[in-house]
Structure 1
Amino acid sequence: MLSFDFDYYRPKTLQEAVGLFQNADRNGKKPMYISGATELLTLGRINLAFTEAAIDLKDIVEGNVMQFEQGYLVLGANLTLTKIEEANLFPLLTNTSSNIADHTARGKITLGGNICGQIFYREAVLPFLLADSQVVIVGPEGVTVKPINEIFNKQLKLKKGEFLIQVATDDRYIHAPFISIKRRQQWETGYPLITVAALKIDGEVRTALSGLCPFPFRSKKMEAALNNHELSVKARIQSALAEVPSPILNDVEGSSEYRLFVLQNLLEDVLGAFD
């Protein structure tokens, strides 16, 4: 049970959703956009999330699309991870997101909820960072399309009143060779220690990571090191490890030293899969 009450709205259009947010904000109600609502329920129970006006986006048509359009795969932010997994239109995304939580939870967690959430794993964003995907954002200024690698820095940088409605990915990345590996310290559906997603495009390996730092990321400096074929594989990996952003997580799932050890082995697996 949540310890607070809130007004609940279920708009049918993009404009209605933005209008409801603005109106609630003017009335000091600390509005929040939701679709799966899993994070509100989970974090709200431990007082880490709060709202007085929940605006549920799940009935908005644009957020439920799953189609190829002009050479791009367009996925709505309201799609559950289970629907994405079953359709399997983006195999790297399927492989990465199908290991998030358990099947029951994935039937409620939405693509947008995972990308924009507060929980720092957010593995579903990794394939999109690798594929230079475009994000479709809706807010008071209308609808805008932006490269995800320009607007995602530790988290999706949304302005007040904005929400993610779609992610579009160029078809050529959809069919690129890939690998996705998740390492856990505990049980099969427990929180991950580290997740690495990688693909090879234009002869170079791209990698994105979750669970190493308190945010998911793609590092071009790490990629440059991994693709430096003048060095041995061992030296390439050591150079990449030197470019890991900070801080490195140190928690009950694993120490920072152990995480770096696991990452070293994961990078060996990645390069072995593509070299």
Structure 2
Amino acid sequence: MIPAAFDYIRPTSLEEACRVLAEADSAGDDVKVLAGGQSLLPLLRLRLAYPAALVDLGRLPEPRGVEDRGDHVFVGALTTHDEVLRSGVVREQVPLLALATATVADPAVRHRGTFGGSMVHADPAGDLPAVALALDCVFVVRSSEGEREIPADEFFVDYLESALGPGEVLLGVQVPKLGPGWGFHYEKFHRTAQAWAIVGVAAAVRRDGGTIGEARIALTNMGPTPVRARVTEAALRGLSPAPAGGAGDGARDQVRDACGQADSGTSPPADLHAKPDYRRHLARVLTYRAVRAASG
């Protein structure tokens, strides 16, 4: 299909981009921002989006790349998924991000799609928003009035809606380093290797001696935004990680029971791929697998 007509604007600097977006907002124009285009272009072709103008950030020199900033890793918004995957800093310091990024679509999409574009698109079926929520990431945004920071639990507002205000552009994301004792895993169920997740689970588990000291679990596609499995997180605290053998082992049953509450408080959608009750079942099963893997 052919997109509806729109004006095409390619800023040469981040400052120009912020100014163009602010002017468009003042004029009441509907403007879309293009980064990698892997999510936006299909919407344009299907005429599910028909903006008055398209602001292309793809040629800007910044914000790109991955930086180690001490207590966190900063990932520039225009960094591609492939660049995130190839980053030694990401693999060593924030491995959960690497695990989830490896499941994003296919190599062609990962070479064009951007880290920031995936976040701002705010699709609850996307893999990376759940990771941002599980790791308590912080989103750094800029407008012509300056910069501000938005915690991950405030960034995803509704289905395909982020907390970016008029005239704001995502600079990048601060991904905290959780340090020693933490294990990570991303578990995803999808029909084909390139498909969106029917349900996904991002898990970070800290071992405290022989027990689980803390667990962070975020669910993909279990509501209009990614959601934390708070009930399960609380229930896992203090439990012994499930041993590898013995179906009758009590510790294993306790962890399974805790993960069986992963869908509490969620509102999974119904679509062509799954009904809500099936997604609830997947959330419980996949959370158990992710916690087992993350806890070693």
Where do 1:226-265 residues align within 5 Å?
A: 226-227=236-237, 229=239, 232-241=254-263, 243-246=264-267, 248-265=268-285
Q: CA deviation at 1:69?
A: 2.0
1:2-21 Cα distance to aligned partner (Å, 9 max, x none)? 33222222223332111111
Tell me what 1:187 maps to. 192
User: CA separation in 2, counterparts of 1:119 and 1:211?
Assistant: 8
User: CA separation in 2, counterparts of 1:75 and 1:142?
Assistant: 19
Alignment pair present for 1:266 and 2:286: yes
Q: Report the AA paired with residue 97 of structure 1.
A: T
Q: Report the AA paired with residue 263 of structure 1.
A: A
Number of aligned residue pairs: give it: 272
**3-state DSSP class of the match of 1:107?**
helix
Query: Is this contact kept in 2: 1:126–1:209, CA < 8 A?
Result: yes
Q: Report the AA paired with residue 119 of structure 2.
A: I
Query: Is this contact kept in 1: 2:185–2:291, CA < 8 A?
Result: no
1:156 aligned residue (131, 147, 162): 162
Alignment pair present for 1:127 and 2:131: yes
Q: Report the AA paired with residue 255 of structure 2.
A: V
Query: Is this contact kept in 1: 2:122–2:129, CA < 8 A?
Result: no
Tell me what 1:99 maps to. 103
Instruction: State the TM-score, normalizing by the size of structure 2.
Output: 0.82
Q: CA deviation at 1:175?
A: 8.4
Tell me what 2:220 maps to. 210
Where do 1:13-162 residues align within 5 Å?
A: 13-88=13-88, 89=90, 90-117=94-121, 119-154=123-158, 155-162=161-168
1:191-218 Cα distance to aligned partner (Å, 9 max, x none)? 3211111112472111111123233222
Alignment RMSD: 2.5
Alignment pair present for 1:200 and 2:205: yes
Unpaired runs of 5+ in structure 2? 241-252
Q: Report the AA paired with residue 16 of structure 1.
A: E
Unpaired runs of 5+ in structure 1? none
Query: Is this contact kept in 2: 1:179–1:198, CA < 8 A?
Result: yes
Q: CA deviation at 1:113?
A: 1.2
Query: Is this contact kept in 2: 1:140–1:161, CA < 8 A?
Result: yes
Q: Report the AA paired with residue 36 of structure 1.
A: G
User: CA separation in 2, counterparts of 1:130 and 1:149?
Assistant: 9
Query: Is this contact kept in 2: 1:226–1:239, CA < 8 A?
Result: no
User: CA separation in 2, counterparts of 1:20 and 1:199?
Assistant: 40
Identity %: 27
**3-state DSSP class of the match of 1:44?**
helix
Instruction: State the TM-score, normalizing by the size of structure 1.
Output: 0.88
User: CA separation in 1, counterparts of 2:149 and 2:270?
Assistant: 36
Q: CA deviation at 1:38?
A: 2.2
Residues 13 and 174 from structure 1, CA distance in 2 versus in 1: closer, same or farther, beyond 3 angstroms? farther
Query: Is this contact kept in 2: 1:131–1:173, CA < 8 A?
Result: no
User: CA separation in 2, counterparts of 1:179 and 1:68?
Assistant: 22
Q: CA deviation at 1:115?
A: 0.9
Tell me what 2:7 maps to. 7
Query: Is this contact kept in 1: 2:125–2:198, CA < 8 A?
Result: no
**3-state DSSP class of the match of 2:178?**
helix
Query: Is this contact kept in 1: 2:81–2:113, CA < 8 A?
Result: yes
1:128-178 Cα distance to aligned partner (Å, 9 max, x none)? 212222211112431112322233344531212212111112233598310
Q: Report the AA paired with residue 177 of structure 2.
A: D
